[in-house]
Amino acid sequence: MDAALVAHICVVDGDQPFVLPVAFARNGDTLYIHGSSKSRLFIQLATGASTCLTVTLLDGLVVARSVFESSMNYRSVMVLGTCRVVEGQEKAAALQVISDHLLPGRWDEARHPNEQEDKATLVLALDLNESSVKISAGPPDDVPADVDLPVWAGVVPLTEHFGEPIDAPDLPVGIAVPDYIRQWKR
Q: What is the pTM of this model?
A: 0.89
Q: Let me know if residue 1 belongs to a domain.
A: no
For 25-56, the pLDDT digits (tens) are 999 999 999 999 999 999 999 999 999 999 99
- What's the structural domain count of the chain? 1
Nearest to 7 by CA among 19, 158, 93: 19
Considering the domain boundaries, does residue 108 fall inside one? yes
Whether 130 maps to a domain, the answer reads yes
Q: What pLDDT digit, counting tens, does each position of 100-125 carry?
A: 999 998 999 999 999 999 999 999 99
| Domain range enclosing 134 | 6-182
In a domain, 36, yes or no: yes
Residue 65: give its domain's CATH number.
Answer: 2.30.110.10
What is the C-alpha separation between 92 and 113, in angstroms, rounded?
Answer: 9
Max distance between CA atoms of the chain, in angstroms, equals: 67
